[in-house]
Structure 1
Amino acid sequence: MQETYPFQLKPLNYSYNALEPYIDEETVRIHHDKHLKTYVDNLNKALQPYPEYHNLSLTQLVKNYMQLPTKLQTAVRNNAGGVYNHNLYFDIMNKPSNSTPQGLLEIAINNTFGSFDEMKNHIKAAALGQFGSGYAWLVVDSYGNLKVIPTPNQDTPLPQNTCPILIIDVWEHAYYLKYQNRRAEYIDNWWNVVNWNKVLENYMACKTQMW
């Protein structure tokens, strides 16, 4: 998978209908093949005239977009952010299961929030409180602690020196075909398709790298 320019559409790790009945096949297909692909294409288009930045990774672009030329910053912020956010969102989902956080992640959640259910309440509040389009995140901060934060549009927590491990997309295109304006119902059902093994993997990676 190409990690620098030209960026490529990252394939799903599951079939389009794998998240049924909680996220419908049509939504996954349009969300991945249309919305995400547009961000990939627009990011490549924006970077094409700037070969001096072609060796930067997606993470580097997202985290350091303010260091780019002024006329490139908005395009990278929106489109690199769109690629990064969607890649993480699709990566941490899988077919429905009753799984819950395990191992060191479970311990960290209980220590930080008191319980798994209370963590979900914090993330739901952040997701519902995000006016318009955006995301709610579970991140590891620079002290190694878990934290819930929202971001608008295609912004990411990376410039805040945090390491994301879980993300829920609350742009309307992520849920509107099935849930219409019922964002809260979508959020509640979304937990059924979270791949906690992947979230644990993200958590362990964050804990062992420098941020």
Structure 2
Amino acid sequence: MDSWHKGLCVGVAAALAWSAQAAPPKKAEPPKEIYSFKRDAAPAPGSARAQALAALAGAQEATLSSLQSWTFPDELKDLSEVPRAQHNQAVAERYQRSRQQWCESAECFYQTRVLGRTPVAAADLDAMRKLLRGALGAVPPYPSTCLPQYRHALSYVSAGKRYDILLSYPCGQILIGIDGQERERGQASLTQQRALDEMLTRAGVPLAAPAKP
């Protein structure tokens, strides 16, 4: 390396060293928040959820139901004999036929088969109200892609209206019906599944079969 290039390199190195010393130290930045957790919200005013929550105070009696949700039958999973171009049509036809047959052979409640019912004892009413206040009164801030299978339902009458709350414990979801009409679905924080199962078992009501894998 000739003297000119050597001098240039030395000059550049010196300039870089001087600028590093002269530059003020950078202030440490606080770590950025990666996740933002929101709190549960109250039900929207006037919504079916808000109506069912308000009606709890006037509920003097309630009924607990054991339910069995429809599940995809094996015939919907095996379409090996159907040409690929006809798969969608075959699935739609088998799906409709299976859903119709599900409720033709047994009593259904919001398209869910009823295995049995039992009145909620007066001593258990406070626990039922607590469960439903928690489920109805706090709306979780996250969505769910879980397909709900409702296995329990609590029904009560208040001010001349009937409220049905179907509970899906595995998915943390509820279905709200008023006077026999589905009005709303959503996420919920559900508790006391074991207590409900024990109430049904004591009354001789069968529990739903486990979901198919």
State the TM-score, normalizing by the size of structure 2: 0.28
Larger radius of gyration: 2
State the TM-score, normalizing by the size of structure 1: 0.28
Higher helix share: 1
